């Protein structure tokens, strides 16, 4: 099947699914489109089981989407365009972000996007190892750590699209937004480094010096993104027409897809930094700039719908069983517990020195907002089939792919459909607490 036909089918399926959700279901767009993808995949599998259709062409379509290379660039790879879909999504989100919201919570955001990712990966691996040993299925900790790195990042697309519809406190939205913009790139680099250590590969230019590779991929992305962003900001600031601003921003983000592999830096992180720098241009606050930002908002929503349809269709690529579903669902509470710990550590430290007013309820909400999505599935697809985890010859990829898809779908449906209720509860508690403090302050003011 040629690339144009594949693209056309994906866009047509997405358009129909988005229309049906908008017309009948009225769910958040990402969730509604993903459910449509699940129904298409589930219906195809069911029809194949009954012998009505052969699902070979559908499976071929899913495999031809190259979900992994669209979202994850290979470590040390020189292939242009890898990771560009995620780069486009993050660039669009960063371009529309209010810069002040990042600087207000920058310390917490940096922690979550770096150390928080590592703590979540390690915590998930340790918890799942304990669970597997109880069930009599011990496995290598490094393999579980790779699996933990796959599930560590929160999905920026799901988180941002859902937070816009919730009544979550402003500071919660700021932290989740900032974290989700950066932790994908960091987790991808961590995953590729662990994979290189596991396989003993030395294909990167760092020849086994994985710590140096990690610093170059992340630090280099910050530098390259900042430089390209400054160029884009200068061009945008002097443009007078909406079409010129749109063309410049499109040229910037597509150029990053070409330049970032040449410098061996993370494409998603580079796109985020460039988007944040260009987003600070005063020209984007004027009428023409606002129209250009609206264009990127439409691009973000459209690509989000396509991405979540692809997540639903990935169900065709795995062999599900009740046992696999059970073990996969058991990972979700472990993952949530690991994320809570990664959030609670800096929060508790800040509370001890009186540097934060964030409540425990808001930390719970931040934990619940940590949805998993397409990036985790893409990393899992990128796993080589040569990593064997059982005496029967089963590969880590086959087990991890089933678990990841189940965790992602369960995370989006369970957390995504309930996050608004939790957000309203937390907001009510926050408002009541603020009212009590205001009442306590009145006698003090009167006495003064």
Computed over every residue of the chain, the mean pLDDT equals 82
Q: What is the mean pLDDT of residues 175-182?
A: 83
Structural domains for the chain: 3-64 (no CATH), 70-439 (1.20.1530.20)
pTM of the model: 0.82
What pLDDT, on the 0 to 100 scale, is given for residue 343?
A: 93
How far apart are the C-alpha atoms of 35 and 311, rounded to whole Å? 9
**CB-based burial of residue 45 (10 Å sphere; 0-12 exposed, 13-18 middle, 19+ buried)?**
middle
What pLDDT, on the 0 to 100 scale, is given for residue 322?
A: 77
| From 42-51, 161-170, 377-386, the region with the lowest mean pLDDT | 161-170
* pLDDT tens column, 53-96: 777 877 787 877 777 777 776 544 556 667 788 888 888 888 87
Give percent of the chain above pLDDT 70: 88
Give percent of the chain above pLDDT 90: 18
Residue 42 has pLDDT above 50, yes or no: yes
- 188 phi, psi to nearest 5 deg: -65, -45
What pLDDT, on the 0 to 100 scale, is given for residue 146?
A: 92
Write the DSSP string, 63-100: HHT-HHHHH-PPTT---TTTTHHHHHHHHHHHHTS-HH
* pLDDT tens column, 283-301: 887 777 778 878 888 887 7
How far apart are the C-alpha atoms of 190 and 211, rounded to whole Å? 10
What pLDDT, on the 0 to 100 scale, is given for residue 423?
A: 87
Identify the band that residue 202 occupies on the pLDDT scale cut at 50, 70 and 90.
very low
* pLDDT tens column, 398-419: 888 889 988 988 888 898 888 8
* pLDDT tens column, 113-152: 889 999 999 999 999 999 888 877 778 898 899 999 999 9
């Amino acid at each position: 099947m040629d690339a144009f036909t594949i693209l056309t089918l994906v866009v047509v399926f997405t358009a129909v699914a988005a229309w049906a959700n908008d017309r009948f279901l009225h769910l958040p767009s990402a969730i509604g489109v993903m459910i449509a993808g699940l129904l298409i995949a589930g219906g195809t599998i069911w029809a194949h089981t009954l012998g009505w259709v052969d699902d070979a062409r559908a499976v071929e379509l899913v495999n031809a989407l190259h979900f992994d290379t669209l979202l994850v660039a290979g470590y040390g790879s020189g292939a242009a365009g890898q990771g560009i879909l995620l780069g486009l999504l993050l660039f669009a989100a960063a371009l529309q972000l209010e810069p002040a919201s990042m600087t207000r919570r920058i310390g917490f955001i940096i922690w979550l996007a770096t150390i928080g990712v590592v703590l979540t990966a390690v915590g998930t691996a340790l918890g799942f190892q304990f669970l597997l040993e109880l069930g009599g299925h011990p496995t290598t900790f490094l393999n579980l750590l790779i699996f933990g790195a796959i599930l560590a990042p929160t999905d920026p697309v799901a988180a941002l699209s859902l937070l816009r519809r919730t009544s979550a406190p402003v500071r919660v939205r700021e932290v989740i937004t900032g974290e989700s913009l950066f932790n994908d790139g960091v987790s991808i680099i961590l995953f590729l480094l662990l994979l290189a250590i596991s396989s003993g590969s030395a294909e990167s230019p760092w020849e086994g010096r994985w710590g140096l590779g990690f610093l170059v991929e992340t630090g280099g992305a910050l530098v390259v993104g900042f430089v390209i962003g400054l160029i884009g900001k200068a061009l945008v600031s002097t443009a007078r027409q909406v079409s010129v601003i749109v063309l410049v921003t499109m040229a910037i983000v597509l150029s990053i897809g070409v330049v970032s592999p040449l410098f061996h830096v993370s494409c998603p992180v580079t796109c985020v930094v460039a988007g944040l720098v260009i987003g600070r241009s005063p020209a984007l606050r004027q009428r023409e700039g606002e129209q250009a930002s609206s264009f990127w908002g439409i691009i973000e929503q459209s690509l989000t719908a396509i991405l979540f349809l692809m997540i639903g269709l990935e169900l065709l690529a795995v062999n599900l069983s009740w046992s696999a579903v059970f073990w996969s669902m058991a990972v979700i509470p472990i993952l949530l517990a690991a994320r809570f710990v990664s959030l609670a550590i800096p929060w508790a430290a800040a509370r001890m020195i009186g540097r934060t007013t964030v409540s425990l309820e808001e930390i719970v909400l931040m934990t619940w907002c940590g949805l998993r999505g397409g990036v985790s599935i893409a990393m899992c697809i990128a796993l080589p089939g040569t990593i064997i985890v059982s005496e029967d010859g089963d590969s880590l990829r086959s087990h991890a792919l089933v678990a990841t898809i189940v965790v992602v779908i369960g995370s989006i449906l369970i957390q995504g459909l309930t996050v608004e209720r939790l957000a309203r509860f937390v907001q009510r508690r926050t408002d009541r607490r603020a009212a009590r403090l205001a009442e306590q302050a009145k006698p003090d003011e009167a006495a003064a």
